[in-house]
Structure 1
């Protein structure tokens, strides 16, 4: 009889063997040696200085997508060179290929950057496959940079949670274009990197996007199921001597702003005001950073892109404020989507997305050593609209285990404050531990976590949160499952757990209930022949079930099956079928009268087609039809996009949901229309206007933003925001803000 110990030993042996077969082999095979230069290098996009002629080259890239079988060589080639001096890491690259480039925008870190021609480098200074820096450029010298963590990101799932492109820093680049190539020069200051000066072996990879063939190429091969930035498949950068130690790294970013606001809806007169504040970045050590902010201003941040909410729960809107986005994975990756113990929008924003003034904040983040990461954040908000201020503290520790696995813990505290002191009878605290196991090749993962909350005037019973799950990915098969549970008395004032809150439309009351959540996903992807028009066929199956933790009453149960076909010309077609069983625990209103509590069973069918995204004109068309509770729903979606390369992008998003219920409950037609215009006068000067017409929220919003980057990382913003009621077409509120900031390195 096989004992539990024997089973554990067999499993451990299997997993250990999985670790040993990937990255060590790749890091032995793919090595680039870097040699110090004593000659000055001018960043002009021409590799004509002597150090480039003497530098070792990385070439012979491999295709990573759409095929990776037999390590297919890239259909266009790339050469990369490295050198350095006391201040900068220099990168030179020659990207061969025709000059009919695809450039979606001249805006830094723009959403369409990776859909066009692009070259990027991935630097892992600690070489532990848990965190890295990405620096990317396109033929128009548009920069994009990001922090990348060790999260396994499967291609095609839309999961890019491991990439944080909100991280912005000052580095230099230049590009020269010719008929058969484009040439890149980069100068990356050592001061913006986090590394130990005695570390002479760094993780390294390069990626090249080639939209004409809809392909991605990498220097060190990355399997087709993972995105090109996966940290499990890096080669190595080998230094001839330890890189220079960074002595001083302090950046100060002061700002001034002037604003004018008007609120006709509340009958308030026009008001004007001036504001000033400062951010600072201090390198405590070469791998540990302290960020400070005093009276921060986020008026330049774009408004949320509105959605039509057809659920009975809140919708998660992403964080857009830069201070909270940098190193956000340290705090926000706990739990499982959409259940997160920490959600930074709980700080400085109310439930409607309105600003609550922040007085000051600090964040300490980075590596204590190669295996231990720390995140410590403290923020203080002012009292606002008769609500008291709050002090928020978050602590997160990540301890690397094995190669890509981590054990981590968190503590979050919201403490009410008065003008003079803390209010000890007004608090909410959450704490927990999690373990995330990932094999070195990223194919197998398992995770589990347990946490508790503590609140004033709330029982300490049934106040826990747990999650457990795992998954497996290979070239064609992906499976994933998780189980989670939340107690009735678990409260996360700094988190986002929407399924806990149930609204009673008749009593106008919200009930807080514990629940259990089960989610399972499986997919199979088939890749046809290399040179065919079709890249892949994928079949997906999803199952989700939620039920209350005490009475085990069903909340929702859904089965979804879809088929997805992707063409080499970047077009896509999707068909799906969803079988849904929802139980309203309390009456809920979608139209005229609230639907009664009870079970509702219905089926929906849908299809989506996306045209060639490389074309100057592209479109998305979607339609779905079927039941909706005790009624019917028809949904129509249309997105039109026209690109005047490279300076202009014009989008129109349209969504209509027609909900028809039995006569007693009414009918409603929900419209969401969002035109967007982006004009780039140069790489440093842009104007963006975004309109949103939303009948569900009874709001028409205008958000127009002019941005001039007059110095590296220093900007002037002029922002106009206006809101109107759709129903009676009257003004709600409007504001004009002028803001200037300046990035100063000390």
Structure 2
């Protein structure tokens, strides 16, 4: 081995060891003792009870963004005290600073919650850095909560492993003071899953909106959000908490609706439904979810998007039954994921397939093993019903790495009996490596799919690896599946190809690659917080003939400003080999051949703390054998704290050569959200989409009359765009109630 090779090896070892030590030091250095209370806590957001003075304080918060590794100035510091009794964990929080403080919305779990002033606690009761909980509050006392998995929370994109759709009961109040704002939080033990351990992982994070700054108690490097589980401190209990009381929750619902389908020229129809969800704690770590005749999608509507690809869009899961510990089932794979819960009970167009019942067991069997077991049965209608069964296991190895396995089984059910020749079975293994500091990652997996028709060329494989540091990152992903990998539990991009001439969809196996390299700069004393570039390439080729399906090479440069505005410039070179004719217009379909085109894009987002925020974009370039011009504008107007009004506009002008025509695709979406209080909301939005030939009006009134208990009144109206004729109209009333035994 030469001298240069030795130097490189020593440097690599130094980087690895120093990163591991950084993550370990937080657990050793940032420790907080929790004290048991014998007094009644009056939840009002004001820390004037005498017992708060005798409780140990967590203070001296660190900067996480826009700089890292320095203490927060005293005038913007945060102090936290934590205590407990037999039923609750209590937090007393003081956030110092000068008001007014930014409140984006009074609505719980609002998408813009983290764009305003906020505080949150991250809890990892198992203390293995693989999954946890986050509970957040803003200066108006509005709540948010989420489940967190051990995936690195890398800054610069969507937060990985952050499931904000999860809801549970907890309580908080906040108050604005002369020195900042304060909050009191009460988290029931019943809302957590934990074992009898005397140490939990913990961290506190704060958003200081005025200074565009993120703080954390235990320091987290700038390239990660404060929610990353790799940098938790320790919460030390005087006695391990016990959860010996019954923990059973029932959520019954009553629904009535009136509906008219104008396409079928029928009369108004009325229906009533009654169903129930239940959550039963088998023990403090293991939870059983049950559902009978569930209502899965009556009061929530997916936001429409313009689709300029040959790939189906994926919409997020919002249904209660699938949410808790959802990562046990879904966190497999990279580009091709073997499980997507929206394939159960919903068809590819988002229409509801009635589910008769569901049962789901999930949680920790011990500190290292997580398990998920699920069974659901859909109703037989014009097509046979289906029984879906799933088993998933996560075995922790090393410090933060996981060895996983899964098995999914679908079998048809008709006329009271099982259709033994109508089945689909999926199985596989995966190893997910993550360094203690989250900077190094690797994933390797292999799976098989079986059905009554195909038993060969039915494989799925994936590999992902890379490094993400403060200034430099590089990642690589290679995956593929055979022609007969048929998975009824998943939505896999690039697998299905539509032939516009034959009006037929074909399924093809493919091999996929994706790689990216990026570099960031952190200038001092300028109006820019950070800027940097990334080079990304990806593509797909057919599995059998190695024929190109698509590839894309992209250069992007992004600026993050001190005033929270962003500017991004992108240049892309894309190649798409249409394996079958495809059309974006009503004219002749594009020929099945290779198309290569180039386009540039500019996107600018103004200061998101202002009452009016603009998001603008412009794209121009070649597109197949023609050109594409896209204009986009989103206007958000906030009336703090009670109102949010927005308008989203996207127009794509497509012009093709020859007899392939031209098309103007318009997506227009005004939205109004009025919050009468923290528990009473009215949201109305319209979606005008020429691509799907639909104009939709959806108006929803929600009253949260008890914690996690709601009354919904929803009006929905759909029209054909071209002739503005009504398609269907509905009025829905839904009442649910969450109560604990």
Partners of 1:504 and 1:40 in 2: CA distance: 68
> Are residue 448 (structure 1) and residue 447 (structure 2) matched?
no
Deviates more, 1:563-572 or 1:73-82: 73-82
Q: Which shows bigger deviation, 30-39 or 485-494?
A: 30-39
Query: Are 2:175 and 1:180 aligned?
Result: no
Matched, 1:115 2:115: yes
Give the deviation of 1:320 after TM superposition. 2.2
Structure 1 gaps, min length 5: none
Question: Structure 2 regions of 5+ residues with no counterpart?
Answer: none
**Residues 30, 218 of structure 2: 8 Å contact kept:** yes
1:282 counterpart residue number:
280
Cross-structure match for 1:562: 556
RMSD of aligned alpha carbons: 1.7
Question: What corresponds to 2:91 in structure 1?
Answer: 91
Q: Aligned equivalents of 1:71 and 1:128: distance in 2?
A: 27
- Return the offset for 1:524: 0.7
**Residues 191 and 246 of structure 1 are in contact (CA less than 8 Å); yes or no, is this contact kept in structure 2?**
no
Corresponding residue of 1:353: 350
Distance 1:75 1:674 in 2: 42
Written as runs of structure 1 = structure 2, the 5 A alignment for 1:532-551 is 532-551=526-545
Question: Structure 2 matches for 1:105-184, cutoff 5 A?
Answer: 105-158=105-158, 160-184=159-183
Match of 1:697 in 2: 692
Q: Flag the 1:558–1:12 CA change in 2: closer, same or farther, 3 A.
A: closer
Secondary structure of 1:528's counterpart equals: coil
Distance change in 2, residues 1:527/1:72 (3 Å): farther
Distance across 1 between alignment mates of 2:548 and 2:84:
61
Structure 2 residue 327 is matched with structure 1 residue 333: no
**SS of match in other structure, 2:147:** strand
Instruction: Determine the structure 1 residue equivalent to 2:190.
Output: 191
Deviating more after overlay: 401-410 vs 325-334 = 325-334
Q: Residue 670 of structure 1 corresponds to which residue in structure 2?
A: 665
Deviation at 1:20, TM superposition (A): 4.0
2:367 corresponds to: 370
CA 208–300 in structure 1, closer or farther in 2 if over 3 Å, else same: farther
Instruction: Provide the residue aligned with 1:620 in structure 2.
Output: 615
Matched, 1:609 2:608: no
Q: How far apart are 1:14 and its partner, in Å?
A: 7.5
Contact (CA 8 Å) 2:481, 2:509: kept in 1 or not?
yes
- Matches of 2:464 and 2:737, distance apart in 1: 46
The answer to which of 388-397 and 174-183 deviates more is 174-183
Tell whether the 8 Å contact from 1:716 to 1:741 is kept in structure 2 after alignment: yes
In structure 1, C-alpha distance between the alignment counterparts of 2:323 and 2:647, rounded to whole Å: 28
Report if the CA contact (8 A) 2:683-2:699 is conserved.
yes
Distance across 2 between alignment mates of 1:468 and 1:11: 25
Relative to structure 1, the CA distance from residue 16 to residue 477 in structure 2 (aligned partners, 3 Å threshold; closer, same or farther) is closer
- Deviation of 1:19 after TM superposition, in Å, equals 6.8
- Describe how 1:376-391 pairs up with structure 2 within 5 A: 376-384=373-381, 386-391=382-387
**TM score, norm. by length of structure 2:** 0.97
Aligned mates of 2:18, 2:67 — CA distance in 1: 23
Q: In the superposition, relative to structure 1, how do residues 75 and 452 fare at CA in structure 2: closer, same or farther (>3 Å)? A: farther
Deviation at 1:301, TM superposition (A): 3.8
Asked if structure 2 preserves the Cα contact closer than 8 Å seen for 1:254 and 1:277, the reply is: yes
Give how far 1:73 is off: 5.1
Equivalent position of 2:235 in the other structure:
237
- Residue in structure 2 matched with residue 311 of structure 1 by the alignment: 309
Q: Give the secondary-structure state (helix, strand or coil) at the position aligned to 2:494.
A: helix
- Shift of the alpha carbon at 1:245? 2.8
1:577 partnered with 2:571: yes
Deviation at 1:16, TM superposition (A): 7.4
| Aligned residue number for residue 431 of structure 2 | 435
**Matching residue of 1:101:** 101
* TM-superposed deviation, 1:340: 1.3
The answer to whether the 8 A contact 1:151-1:161 is kept is yes
What do residues 165-213 of structure 1 show as CA deviations (whole Å, max 9, x unaligned)? Answer: 111111111111113211111111111111112x011111000001111
Partners in 1 of 2:704 and 2:14 — Cα distance? Answer: 53
Partner Cα distance (2:218, 2:717) in 1: 49
Q: TM-score, normalised by structure 1?
A: 0.96
* Structure 1 residues 70 and 79: alpha-carbon distance in aligned structure 2, compared to 1, 3 A threshold: closer
- Give the alignment partner of residue 635 of structure 1, picking from 626, 630, 638: 630
Q: Structure 1 residue 467 and structure 2 residue 468: aligned?
A: no
The answer to whether the Cα contact below 8 Å between 2:126 and 2:367 also exists between their aligned partners in 1 is yes
2:548 aligned with 1:517: no
Q: Note closer, same or farther for the CA distance 1:74–1:406 as it changes in structure 2 (3 Å cut).
A: farther
Q: Using the TM superposition, give the Cα deviation of residue 321 of structure 1 relative to its aligned residue in structure 2, in angstroms.
A: 1.8
Distance 1:393 1:702 in 2: 37
